[in-house]
Structure 1
Amino acid sequence: MARMLDACAELVDELGYDGLTTTLLAERAGVAIGSVYQFFPDKRAVVQALTMRNLEAYLRQLGARIAEERSAYWWDTVDAAIDEYISMHRTTPGFRTLHFGDVVDIHLLDDERDNNSVIVEQLAALLVERFGITPGAELEFALSVAVETADALIRMAFRRDQVGDPLVIEEAKALIRDYLHRHVR
């Protein structure tokens, strides 16, 4: 399955989501087409699995970085969260094209909630666990605004510069830190 997801990531980067087919995926992964259909009913399902793998990797890397840096303040995680996202954007095959699935379907990660809501829930859990922040609707709303803002600014950074305009990235960090500092307790 890992080979199929790796092949999917490569093909999405090369051809985009619309150019991806299960036949091309099977060829690139070096598996029979039946093997693809054994695990995935269609290309959307393959991309969904790749997106979930990327989300898990992102959260794992972010959690490890927070633990490693032993951040005393929750707002230090803003820089870490953006830096990890930028790093995946630059280095993880398929991520620059798919992000967390929004280019395919805003409900790719969950049928009931949009992709960013799933990410917000995960980030909220991380902040509550690590820093003892009060969970609830206020936290999730503030994180929703922050995630949507970061998403827009990171897209802008990569439109301005292929590796991400560092000025836009730094402004995104400052803006989101300031916003969350006012709204998260």
Structure 2
Amino acid sequence: MLRVQRMLDCCAELLDEVGYAHLSTTRIAERAGVAIGSVYQFFPDKKAITQALGLRFLDQFATRITDRLAGADRSDWTAVVDAIVDEYVDMHRTVTGFRSLHFGDVVDPQLLDRGADNNRVISVRLRQIIVAHHGLEDGEELDRAVHVSVEAADAVLKLAFRNDPDGDALLVLEAKRLVRSYLRQFSEPAADTAPQ
């Protein structure tokens, strides 16, 4: 519905302008040019609106990665890692509201899903994309590897953007190198790497 999308667009604009602490349903309604009752018809409070925005960002992120991988070599982990990190960095730089909200951690570590941390929700979505792109067999090992990769990349990318609004290019590269190195285990012959 166009009215809901307009509210989400205005929420994103306001997040970049005033931050979550100063965001309100009243401000969103005023910016969207709708009555406050229209906001409450769809969202009980500002947290619900930011949750919807975070889920929209997640869908955009997944679509951008899937589109980028459409023509990529299915055996190349580098292309997958680059696509994920590059699309995250580009969204941070260009998508209104994303740099302020990301996928919701600034609001609630479980904003995207009451039953899971935001990074867990992201790792599940990325694992689905990776399985579809590479034709890999899904399972606990891949699930754990993607989850660890998301957590590690998230930490380094937060560092990259901490003091540089465009993201420190060298730290972005380090995030890629870290994840590529870790995921290399899935593109090489299996070895006994279980802890003793």
Given the two structures, how large is their TM-score scaled by the length of structure 1? 0.95
Asked if the contact 1:75–1:181 (Cα under 8 Å) also holds between the matched residues in 2, the reply is no
**What residue in structure 1 maps to residue 14 of structure 2?**
11
Cα distance between partner residues in 1 of 2:75 and 2:142: 19
For residue 185 of structure 2, what is the amino acid of its counterpart?
R
The 5 Å alignment of 1:144-159 reads 144-159=147-162
Cα distance between partner residues in 2 of 1:28 and 1:184: 50
Q: Which residue among 106, 129, 133 is the counterpart of 2:136?
A: 133
Cα distance between partner residues in 2 of 1:65 and 1:29: 32
**What residue in structure 2 maps to residue 43 of structure 1?**
46
For residue 104 of structure 1, what is the amino acid of its counterpart?
V
Output one character per residue of 1:9-40: Cα deviation in whole Å (capped at 9) or x when no partner: 01111111111000001001111100000110
Q: Which residue among 71, 76, 82 is the counterpart of 1:73?
A: 76
**What residue in structure 2 maps to residue 86 of structure 1?**
89
Cα distance between partner residues in 2 of 1:175 and 1:149: 8
1:134 Cα deviation from its structure 2 partner: 2.2
1:159 Cα deviation from its structure 2 partner: 1.7
Asked if the contact 1:146–1:176 (Cα under 8 Å) also holds between the matched residues in 2, the reply is yes
Cα distance between partner residues in 1 of 2:147 and 2:12: 27
**What residue in structure 2 maps to residue 57 of structure 1?**
60
1:183 Cα deviation from its structure 2 partner: 5.3
How many pairs does the alignment contain?
A: 185
Given the two structures, how large is their TM-score scaled by the length of structure 2? 0.90
**What residue in structure 2 maps to residue 181 of structure 1?**
184
1:75 Cα deviation from its structure 2 partner: 3.5
Cα distance between partner residues in 1 of 2:187 and 2:148: 12
Structure 1, unpaired ranges of 5+? none
Range with bigger deviation, 49-58 or 151-160: 151-160
Identity %: 53
Cα distance between partner residues in 2 of 1:143 and 1:165: 24
Q: Which residue among 22, 27, 39 is the counterpart of 2:25?
A: 22
> 4+ runs of 1 displaced by more than 3 Å?
68-72
Structure (1/2) with the larger helix percentage: 1
For residue 96 of structure 2, what is the amino acid of its counterpart?
P
For residue 93 of structure 1, what is the amino acid of its counterpart?
T
Cα distance between partner residues in 2 of 1:71 and 1:170: 22
Larger Rg: 2
| Residue 130 (structure 2) pairs with residue 97 (structure 1) | no
